[in-house]
Amino acid sequence: MTRAILAGIAWAVLLPVHAQAPDPHAPAPGAATHDLMPAPQVLEWRPGRLVVDSRLTLAARGAADPRVAAALERFRRRLSAQSGLALRAPLGGGEATLTVDVSLPGAPVQAVGEDESYELTVDARRARLSAANPLGALRGLETLLQLARAEGGRTVIPAVHVSDRPRFPWRGLLLDPCRRWQPLEVVKRTLDGMAAVKLNVFHWHLSEDQGFRIESKAYPRLQLLGSDGLFYTQDQVRDVVAYARERGIRVVPEFDMPGHSSSWLAGYPELGSASGPFAVERRFGIFDNALDPTREEVYTFLDGFLGEMAALFPDAYLHIGGDEVTPRQWNANPAVLAFMYQHELRTAADLQAYFNRRVNAILARHGKRMVGWDEVLRPELPKDIVVQSWRGAEALAHAAEQGYDGLLSSGYYLDLNFPAAAHYLPDPLPAESTLPPAARAHVLGGEACMWGEYVSPENIDSRLWPRAAAVAERLWSPAALRDVDDMYRRLEVEGERLDRLGLTHRSSYPVMLARLAGSGPVEPVRALADVVEPVKEYRRGQMRRYTSDMPLTRLVDTARPESLAARRFRKDVDRLLLTPAGERDETAVRAALSAWQANHAAADPVLAAAPLGAEARSLSRDLSAAAALGLTALDAVKAGRQAPDAWSAEAVALLDQAAEPRAEVELAVLPAVRKLVLAAAQLDAARAQPLDQWNRALDEQVKRASAPRGGH
Amino acid sequence: MTRAILAGIAWAVLLPVHAQAPDPHAPAPGAATHDLMPAPQVLEWRPGRLVVDSRLTLAARGAADPRVAAALERFRRRLSAQSGLALRAPLGGGEATLTVDVSLPGAPVQAVGEDESYELTVDARRARLSAANPLGALRGLETLLQLARAEGGRTVIPAVHVSDRPRFPWRGLLLDPCRRWQPLEVVKRTLDGMAAVKLNVFHWHLSEDQGFRIESKAYPRLQLLGSDGLFYTQDQVRDVVAYARERGIRVVPEFDMPGHSSSWLAGYPELGSASGPFAVERRFGIFDNALDPTREEVYTFLDGFLGEMAALFPDAYLHIGGDEVTPRQWNANPAVLAFMYQHELRTAADLQAYFNRRVNAILARHGKRMVGWDEVLRPELPKDIVVQSWRGAEALAHAAEQGYDGLLSSGYYLDLNFPAAAHYLPDPLPAESTLPPAARAHVLGGEACMWGEYVSPENIDSRLWPRAAAVAERLWSPAALRDVDDMYRRLEVEGERLDRLGLTHRSSYPVMLARLAGSGPVEPVRALADVVEPVKEYRRGQMRRYTSDMPLTRLVDTARPESLAARRFRKDVDRLLLTPAGERDETAVRAALSAWQANHAAADPVLAAAPLGAEARSLSRDLSAAAALGLTALDAVKAGRQAPDAWSAEAVALLDQAAEPRAEVELAVLPAVRKLVLAAAQLDAARAQPLDQWNRALDEQVKRASAPRGGH
């Protein structure tokens, strides 16, 4: 599902720093005093600490559930790795240093809303984790691991009381191995990361125009002709479902229909509403191929196929996509038009609603509840379907008001290269929501989405992590927790923890940089890559025509979605400008600018020689030139001598040029350089007003200049 | 197979640099003019280069083999990744920029000695790869990828003619997922690395005291009670065999018997020669459990089990281990003793030979040839068995003289933490060999061995790669190629290439360092880790009692087996001392020593706070102190003023202390520091003799001081 329209939430967050200030009303309890992610509902520090030594014992008590035993064993291994101690295998029961108490067994198939709460108490002698349900024990063990820290050469767990439960029962992550293939190991390590940040739904987007990624034994041509041989076998699917269950994660498969269906038609052209032949799509975008909703054979096929899938995936929900259907093939088919006339279906949307009702009935027969994207929401559909909203919180509220369960995904599209803050703040139930309590209960939560056009197994983790943890916190933690700076602080720590869990969002970076540098030195290339970001939203596809088998090894694939160096620089510039003139310490700003200015001399020969580097040469040159402007501006600010108008006009023109994306990336430090240049040109104004007012005015000017050209 | 005795080859190579000088007789053609690894038999550069651009086409012609098509598609993807170009899918035939010609189809099951030769010609317009057999095409494509390089912003392949074939037909790598579990993805990426350096046998050590790692459907208690649930399913095995075949790699499974068999007995105690119960072994070493060779039920069982495995593994060979059987349980069992008396078997070795003959007959019935470790070599055994020698090239020659096929593994044990040079020089057929030609043909090649006691999925690649490439070159390239410095130069390049192929020998290092550093800065910890090495040979197990589930996240697990920083420093010291007194440039040596001296102040607080760091504090302190001595010695050498005897005696005593291994690692830079100290103390001697003679005398003194205490 590639969206042509942006939900509009992101740009507002991208630029002005003071817009990210914490909500003054209610900083959540404990925030900024811990590095847990997601933050728990209640955390109280107590005096003392539990020292982890080799005598530490672990035990699970109460309701027997193999998930708790397995989680305790994983806990032991991770705490062993961290502490270097060979901790003993968990006991079957009894009292131990860490005792996990679970009152009731869990549901045989993990259910929406199944109790995930837990209480955790640590003192100097022991830790006690208690939960009503095995799921709570799993969540609490992750919290406990996040609490463990190095202190005085030992691993300790500070004394604490945590009382925790999720805000929303459905906290998902969508993975799209259709646009580009993602092997099983990517799926498994994604599940590891999800469990670490308490996400509980793996939304597996398994069919698309570009690939049918699951084995059907009933209709084998689906994968044989629809996947280039790249699909998950049913054994692998069972393995993934078991792996996910063991980590407290439901698996909801999606089979997109009636649109996004070219790969179905490659093997079964008779399902189409146009005449074939059909082939797997290599390009990206929205295509006209669609199943024919007017023919009974199509429902017979879907009954067989969905029945097979319903048996394979135990979850109570099954996603049928339903998005972005174009009416072209239906309108061009006389038999379809005749059917519509006969059944009084006046529009393509009516016809799709008819299709959805039929599919919903099939799913109901197989014991599944239907989930679909926004478009499935129609009064004809029964109230037990779930609507996943990519259009926004308002669409979601609209569905909830009508009595439909709903999920928010607008604002959570990780493939659009927005900063973590842009994903952190959107809320399925915003503070200003006027939904009545009954409707609020229909807002089940949300899902982060990792659409697959521009990710390979090598760089997908860097798009998923750690930003998915920001969404995980939004869906788990108190609504009032909106302190962006503190989120970034904890996200950095969580990023390191995820790294040690085996995710490759950090470790892939040097490998990709070395490839970029060809046989030259890596450091100057890294210095450039550190301060660029891939273009945002859907611009990448507009700048170059992509297909599903193009290599993803260029600078745009290597650069992180959010440049933390640029964020740090922006903060340093703000701090500088908010400091009264005589007291300004410009060391950090000057060091960064000097390094960027000097870097081009080292980077250019490397980029010129390397096949993957040439396209980045002008970016490196412009970074250097912009940094030189920034240094001049900094001198002016430091000296308190306003820069001449002619100079600043020229500087702004140069920055405008440098801001033009190339090689599908942009220089992420330019807005802050521009702010410095504008500040140097408006020093007299600074003397006439409070500094924060001046600073805000500068931000407004930067925001106007940096907003993407062309309407959204 | 953990060896209590070292083959003795390594120490000789470890220390004196001039012992590694290239063989003066015959530097192999092309060495030092290319960065291929393994080096080809014949390489001639020609003028010009083939530029890789998006018009490049690929085609396979001649005998149809799906392996060639698949290899060409992998080639396309890797060249695409490197060049950033979306190269076109290979054509089915015809003429193309790169045309691969294969004359004959390959054997349905890859055979020992199947033709792997190829000819490769590249000019400015096209490349032609021709081979008699698909295997040659696979090898040639790897060479072609190694030839591709960055030049002027493009990827080019220099014009060249390569004529290449392996020196030995059996070039293996043993993986041991028994001591500690290695999941499927480790196996697959190991196969990727093997294919890149033209290794062609994956020796899969599947049963051990510590684990039975394969699913048997006939005898499921083998894996159910013998593996803690960590085993490869038969589906996974088929997947691995197919994956390996696609890369021109045979898979030879090993089921170790009659010793090393505790994990068999956990599920089937009736096979044992003592009374049970038996359990999977958690410790490492040599244990007494052994199958009972005197009972017919044992052979019935083995017939069933080996028949099942023979069907699963298509290769013509099957390895039965046969090493390190202790006679204790046999000697303690009256029924066994009675059987021995009755059958005139006088020793345990005789009884084992009887067992091997019976097993060999079973294997023959299932169409397999038997491979075993040295101990299986007995005159009673038929000549079609293969002997794998861990005892040395002489044992191998002895077997070959008697008409047995043999493999060398002595000198190739990658788990012993020896430098690449120590594995590079041992030769299955050394230049001084006096074997007659007929016997020489029995030397099939060799196998690098990665025994699994001290490797996790996180750090196994750093023990395998790139050093396995040095063994691969020994087994593929001309015997005369023995230039160690040039090998290191190419090994570094190959290490980078392997990195981009997805191996984690480099990318795991920062992750492990960050864990070591706890929440402190990583850089000072890295500076220390860069110059230590794990203790060599079997000392680790002597310093601490290990079990199979202890965490492997300490400094010893993080440090690379060979410190390249130490090697570089040693080279710099040599260069300094071999330069006439007035012309010495000590910059590099001084820079390194100064950095090490200063590092302790930064490292110590980090190490003190981190749970995994504390044990390394005294190493950091001693590194600093040794560096300070080195700086004093350097000043003396530079000034040409011999250091006083009292000072040097004290310095040597301090270096002796610092050389004591701790935390199972040693400071790898100490021998070169010691050399500098000795040089400073013997400057007068330097004036009395040629510099190289002086240098050699210093090396002798260092070697004597650095040799491990306790006899080998």
* Tens of pLDDT, residues B240-268: 999 999 999 999 999 999 999 999 999 99
Give A150→chain B minimum CA distance, Å. 5
- The most distant pair of C-alpha atoms in chain A lies apart, rounded to whole Å, by 81
pLDDT above 90 for B14: no
Torsion of CA B299, B300, B305, B306, to 10 degrees: 50
| Cβ-nearest to A553 among B81, B508, B515 | B81
Residue among B301, B251, B229 at smallest CA distance from B271: B301
Residues 180-239 on A with a CB inside 8 Å of B are: 185, 235
Residues 40-99 of B with CB under 8 A from A: 52, 77, 80-86, 89
Could you tell me if B289 and B433 lie in one domain? yes
Q: pLDDT digits over B561-596, tens only?
A: 999 999 999 999 999 999 998 899 999 999 999 999
Q: How far is B352 from chain A (nearest CA, A)?
A: 37
Nearest to B84 among A150, A510, A551 (CB): A551
Contact B251, B232 (CB under 8 A): no
Chain B contact probe: residue of A184, A511, A615 with most B CBs at under 10 A: A511
Tokens standing for residue A60: 């699970």
Q: Which residues in chain A have Cβ-Cβ distances shorter than 8 Å to B235?
A: 235
Average pLDDT over chain A, rounded to an integer: 93
Query: A498 to chain B: nearest residue by CA?
Result: B511
Catalytic residue list contains A700: no
Domain identity same for B142 and B196:
no
Q: How far apart are CA A333 and CA B538, in angstroms?
A: 76
Whether A14 maps to a domain, the answer reads: no
Q: Of A607, A621, A677, which is closest to residue A649 (Cα–Cα)?
A: A677
> Two tokens at A635?
């001198």
Give this prediction's pTM: 0.90
Please determine, for residue B283, whether its predicted confidence score (pLDDT) is greater than 60. yes
Kindly state whether A153 is in contact with chain B, defined as any CB-CB distance less than 8 angstroms: yes
DSSP H stretches of helix in B448-483: 460-464, 467-476
Side-chain half-sphere exposure of B257, counting CA atoms within 13 A? 31
Hey, which residues 599-658 in chain A have their CB within 8 Å of chain B? Answer: 607-614
Task: Select from A616, A621, A615 the least CA-distant residue to A601.
Answer: A621
> B561 and B533, same structural domain?
yes
Q: How far is CA A290 from the centre of its chain?
A: 29
What is the model's pLDDT at position B28? 35
Q: Which listed residue (A324, A494, A533, A586) is catalytic?
A: A324
Residue B265 phi/psi, 5° resolution? -75, -20
Q: Is the pLDDT of residue A709 over 70?
A: no
Please give the Cα distance from A484 to A405 (Å, whole number): 29
A499 and B514 within 8 Å at the Cβ level: the answer is yes
Please confirm whether the linkage preceding B466 is cis (ω < 30° from 0).
yes
Is the pLDDT confidence value at B2 over 80? no
**Average pLDDT of span B592-609:** 98
Chain B residues touching A610 at Cβ < 8 A: 150, 153
Q: Does A309 share its domain with A455?
A: yes
Tell whether the model's pLDDT for residue A693 goes beyond 90.
yes
Contact B227, B264 (CB under 8 A): no
Per-residue pLDDT for A670 more than 70?
yes
Residue B5 near chain A (CB below 8 Å): no
B259's tokens? 């010793």
In terms of residue numbers, what domain contains B574?
A: 507-706
Angle between helices B134-147 and B66-83 (to 10 degrees): 10
Residue A135 pLDDT greater than 80, yes or no = yes
State the Cα–Cα distance between residues A613 and B84, nearest whole angstrom.
Answer: 9
Q: Report pLDDT for A542.
A: 95
Amino acid at A310: A
Nearest Cα to A488, choosing from A35, A144, A10? A35
**Which of these is catalytic: B215, B308, B324, B453?**
B324
Q: Which amino acid is at B268?
A: Y
With 0-12 / 13-18 / 19 or more C-beta atoms within 10 angstroms meaning exposed / middle / buried, residue B664 is buried
For chain A, the straight-line distance linking the first and the last C-alpha, in angstroms and rounded, comes to 18
Largest CA distance in chain B: 81
Chain A residues within 8 A of B553 when measuring between CB atoms = 80-82, 84
Residue B291 included in any domain? yes
Tell which of A188, A503, A612, A618 to mutate to test the B interface (max B CBs under 10 Å).
A612
- When CB atoms are compared, the residue of B84, B610, B614 closest to A612 is B84
Of A150, A185, A611, the CB nearest to B518: A150
- The answer to whether the CB atoms of A609 and B84 lie below 8 A apart is no
Instruction: Among A108, A138, A164, give the residue marking a domain's end.
Output: A164
How do beta strands B118-122 and B127-131 pair?
antiparallel
> Pairing mode, if any, of strands B170-175 and B149-151?
unpaired
Model pLDDT for residues B374-429, shown as the tens digit of each residue: 999 998 899 999 999 999 888 999 999 999 999 999 999 999 999 999 999 999 99
Alpha carbons A20 and A588: distance in angstroms, whole number = 22
CA B423/CA B16 separation, integer angstroms:
16
Distance between CA atoms of A554 and A536, rounded to whole angstroms? 16
B2 found inside a domain: no
Strands (E), A235-385: 250-257, 317-321, 369-373
CA torsion sign, B549 to B553 to B556 to B562?
A: positive
Domain count, chain B: 3
pLDDT score of A91: 86
Q: Is residue B711 part of a domain?
A: no
Q: Are residues B154 and B219 in the same domain?
A: no
Residues of A in contact with B502 (CB under 8 A): 458
Place of tokens 């005085």: A152
Residues A550 and A637 in one domain: yes
Rounded Cα gap, residues A343 and A355, in angstroms: 12
- Nearest Cα to Cα of residue A288 among A276, A296, A299, A300: A276
Question: Is the domain of A465 the same as that of A549?
Answer: no
Task: State whether residue B550 sits within 8 Å of chain A by CB.
Answer: yes
Residue of A nearest to B87 (CA): A550
**Does position B170 have pLDDT exceeding 50, yes or no?**
yes
Query: What confidence score (pLDDT) does residue A33 get?
Result: 86
For helices B645-658 and B670-681, give the axis angle rounded to 10 degrees: 170
pLDDT tens track for A403-412: 999 999 999 9
* pLDDT-above-90 percentage for chain B: 91
Same domain, A124 and A188: no
Q: Does B27 map to a domain?
A: no
What is the per-residue pLDDT for A474? 98
3-class SS at B649? helix
Residue with tokens 């009673």: B380
Q: Pick the residue of A74, A88, A549 with the most B CBs within 10 A to test the interface with B by mutation.
A: A549
Q: Tell whether A580 is covered by a domain.
A: yes
CA distance B218 to A388: 49
User: Three-state SS for A679?
Assistant: helix
Chain A: residue whose CA lies nearest to B614: A153
Say whether both B483 and B528 belong to one domain: no
- Over residues B675-690, the mean pLDDT reads 94
Q: Which of A132, A164, A196 is the last residue of a domain?
A: A164
Is the domain of B602 the same as that of B695?
A: yes
Quote the pLDDT of residue A708: 60
Asked whether residue A10 is assigned to any structural domain, the reply reads no
Give mean pLDDT, residues A8-12: 35
In Å, what is the CA distance from B336 to each residue of A70, A365, B258, B498? 43, 66, 14, 51
Q: What's the average model confidence in pLDDT over B443-472?
A: 98
Show which of residues 445-504 on chain B sit within 8 Å of chain A, judged by CB atoms.
458, 496, 499-500, 502, 504
In 3D, which of B537, B516, B536 has the Cα closest to residue B525?
B516
Could you tell me if A519 lies within 8 Å of chain B, comparing CB atoms?
A: yes
The number of C-beta contacts closer than 8 angstroms across A and B is 125
Task: Examine the domain organization and report whether B224 and B98 are in the same domain.
Answer: no
- Whether B712 shows a pLDDT value over 80: the answer reads no
Partners of B85 on chain A (C-beta within 8 Å) are 551, 611
Is the CB of A367 inside 8 Å of chain B's CB atoms? no
Report d(CA B110, CA B413) in Å as an integer: 26
Angle between helices A484-500 and A184-196 (to 10 degrees): 130
pLDDT at B17 over 80: no
B81 with A155: Cβ contact below 8 A: no
Is a pLDDT exceeding 90 seen at residue A106?
yes
| CATH of residue B131 | 3.30.379.10
DSSP state of B255: E
d(CA B674, CA B652): 7
Distance CA(B418)–CA(B436), nearest Å, equals 32
| Residue B81 to residue A101: CA distance in whole angstroms | 51
What is the domain-level CATH number for residue B337? 3.20.20.80
The answer to whether the CB atoms of B608 and A507 lie below 8 A apart is: no
Do both B205 and B346 map to the same domain?
yes
**In the predicted structure, residue B3 carries a pLDDT above the cut 80:** no
Count of CB atoms situated within 10 Å of the CB of A248: 25
β pairing state of B58-62 and B98-102: parallel
What letters, b where the CB count within 10 A reaches 16 and e where it falls short, cover A194-205?
bbbbbbbbbbbb
The residue with tokens 């490839």 is A515
Q: Is residue A386 part of a domain?
A: yes
d(CA A394, CA A433): 9
Q: What would the pLDDT profile of B284-303 be if each residue is shown by its tens digit?
A: 999 999 999 999 999 999 99
Query: What is residue B706's predicted lDDT score, i.e. its pLDDT?
Result: 80
Q: Which residue, of B455, B475, B500, is where some domain finishes?
A: B500
* b (16+ CB within 10 A) / e for A12-48: ebbbbbeebebeeeebbebbeebbbbbbbbebeeeee
pLDDT of residue B709: 52
Asked if A515's CB is within 8 angstroms of B82's CB, the reply is yes
Of A80, A507, A614, the CB nearest to B551: A80
Q: Specify the pairing of strand A154-164 against strand B149-151.
A: unpaired
Query: Of B83, B511, B525, which to mutate for an interface test with A (greatest number of A Cβ within 10 Å)?
Result: B511
> How many angstroms separate the CA atoms of B295 and B358, rounded?
11
What percent of chain A lies above the pLDDT cut of 90?
91
Residue found by looking up tokens 């507009």 in the block: A542
Quote the radius of gyration of chain B (alpha carbons, Å). Answer: 27
- Distance CA(A106)–CA(A136), nearest Å, equals 10
* Residue A95: band (very low, low, confident or very high) from pLDDT cuts 50, 70, 90: confident
pLDDT of residue B7: 34
Chain centroid to CA A371: 20
